Amino acid sequence: MPELPEVETMRRGILEIEGAVVVAAERTACSKRPIAITPRIDRLNKRVKGQKILRVDRLGKRVVVVMENLDRLIFEPRMTGLVLIADPPSVEHLRFRLTLKKSPVKQVLFWDRRGLGNVSLLSDEQYQEKLTSGKLGPDALAIAPSEFAETFSKRQREIKVALLDQSAVAGVGNLYASEILHLAGVHPQARCNRLSKIQYQRIHDRMVEVLEIAIEHEGSTLSDGTYRNALNDPGGYQNQHRVYDRAGEKCPTCKKDSIQRIVQCQRSTFFCKKCQKKR
């Protein structure tokens, strides 16, 4: 589930590790499904041990810890992964530990209930080749309105489905796509190549607005309670959701129709047919 707001919250939550020195990296004992850690943990540990942490970045839905030699330790949460500096929600789902010195923060943990996330260490060259050489689109908070419209207007896919394509724009996922399109007044099944410039401007503006406000509220913790910030506290943006996971409830925008649920590419989409008319 973690999307741009949740991952950005994780990034901000561990900023105190900048300037720290890595003591060790280890795969913690876990009886659950093992997550992917590359390279092999003994090799990863050898490369990061003694390295100073230069900064903490975010690339789309990934937290990127940049070492002084420009190696990048990348945490990709996928569905249920968390990057923490506090005690995890449960010990049995703890997957990885980075021990530090010369820092107020003594460890960074990666916790993952379902085991779909991963941790990887890439050299600067590997990072550029695998992740930043056109394979991941511009960040959703950085893309200009004109570039956004140009990127999507050439496509024939439904706009909700297109927004989930990380090669087009990085960071938007299923939850925030529904919220963005609702506030923009655009039907989720509208074809990209049939939307107007004005509609694209609205989608872009609402995208930036929704993501920034969600970051201010430290992301969304849904009913399963899985997502937590770096201190193992819940987010607050779920209280601002207008359509996501609210099928059958009265639309808070028009206060007349009810929220509908449809399935697009095996993902649930929520919208109001009165506020988001299909033309």
Which residue numbers are catalytic?
2-3, 61, 267
Q: Say if residues 35 and 60 touch (Cβ distance below 8 Å).
A: no
Q: Which residues pair with 178 in a beta bridge?
A: none
Rg of the chain over CA atoms, in angstroms? 20
Q: Is 75 exposed, middle or buried (0-12, 13-18, 19+ CB in 10 A)?
A: buried
Instruction: Round to whole Å and give the CA distance between 102 and 120.
Output: 23
Which two tokens mark 174?
């299923």
- Strand residue runs (E) in the chain: 21-27, 36-38, 53-59, 62-67, 72-76, 81-84, 94-101, 107-112, 118-122, 259-264, 267-272
CA distance 204 to 209: 9
Cα angle for residues 214, 5, 278 (degrees, 5° grid): 70
Q: Is the peptide bond before 39 cis (omega within 30 degrees of 0)?
A: yes
